[in-house]
Amino acid sequence: MKIAAIQMRSGLDPNANLAALEPMLRKAAAEGVDYVLTPEVTMIFPENREQLSSVAAPFENHPQLKRVGELARELGIHIHIGSLPVPLEDGRFANRSVLFAPDGSQQAVYDKIHLFDADIAGLNAYRESATYKGGEEAVVTPVGDFTLGFSICYDMRFPKLYNALANGGATLIAVPAAFTVPTGQAHWHVLLRARAIETGSYVIAAAQGGVHQNGRATYGHSLVIDPWGKIVAELDHDEPGVLVVEIDPAAVVEARQRIPALANAKEFARPGLQS
């Protein structure tokens, strides 16, 4: 099966972001892909909560998603919008991933589970949970000869989620992201390779890249990793682009036979302090 990761430099205008995305979706389809993944915050990369509140559209009848569904049907491919903010009743947002089937219908949705809340010495506290509400359910769904597992950006730091996805049948795991440059340089490749190795799955990571309208800089380097942990293709830069890769379900079977970590895993009690 051919898959594609789209790298973007999303700004503050949802219609402009959609206009930038559409030709890349058409390029991927022209190269024969069955499934294409876009980055986190594809439709809007907000500067702050106030700006986000003024632009984010309700999920029902969402104008940009409606157009993506039309494109999925026209092109006859799965289109996976890595994420977009969706307003919730409590005033916060869901960071939501949406997969469209080749008939244009919404096949599956996933709300990012893990939120970045941190107190960092010398810096202001960062509370993603003040703006977003975390999801509560891991999601898998069939895509061709693969079963797709969903995750978003910060999720990649939590192996328990990826273990649950693999044990739920996932053989291809999506990681749309908007990684900062310093953390990207330090952790991007090693974390994604680890998630592929420990689950024996393909990992496809579609990233934001470059300096955005909101002033943030993201790392780029969209890539695909095979179940043995090898990077099989990468956009080795932060410019917008399309990465097309052919993947083989037999590679998942082989990797899991050679290293049967999923089958060999055991339940155990939490550690207790012994003196």
| CATH for 224 | 3.60.110.10
Residue 128 confidence (pLDDT): 87
What percent of the chain is modeled with pLDDT above 90? 88
Q: Would 240 be classed as within a structural domain? A: yes
Q: Would 270 be classed as within a structural domain? A: no
As given in the structure block, the two tokens for residue 80 are 């996976």
Running DSSP on this structure, what letter comes out for residue 184? I
Q: Would 71 be classed as within a structural domain? A: yes
Among all residues, which ones are annotated catalytic? 40, 112, 153
As given in the structure block, the two tokens for residue 120 are 């960092």
User: Based on the structure, what is the number of domains in the chain?
Assistant: 1
Residue 127 confidence (pLDDT): 84
Number of DSSP helices (H) and strands (E) in the chain, helices first: 8, 16
Asked if 14 and 22 count as a contact pair (C-beta separation under 8 A), the reply is no
Give the pTM. 0.96
Range of the domain at 242: 2-264
Going 168 to 87 to 67 to 70, the CA torsion angle's sign is positive
Q: Would 118 be classed as within a structural domain? A: yes
- Beta bridge pairs of residue 6: 242
**Residues contacting residue 235 through CB under 8 Å, at least 6 positions apart:** 5, 7, 209, 220, 221, 222, 223, 241, 243
Distance CA(206)–CA(3), nearest Å, equals 11
Residue ranges in the chain modelled with pLDDT below 50: none
* pLDDT tens figures, 163-196: 999 999 999 999 999 999 999 999 999 999 999 9
Q: Would 108 be classed as within a structural domain? A: yes
As given in the structure block, the two tokens for residue 191 are 């974390």
Q: Would 272 be classed as within a structural domain? A: no
Task: End-to-end CA distance of the chain: give it in Å, rounded.
Answer: 55
Q: Would 216 be classed as within a structural domain? A: yes
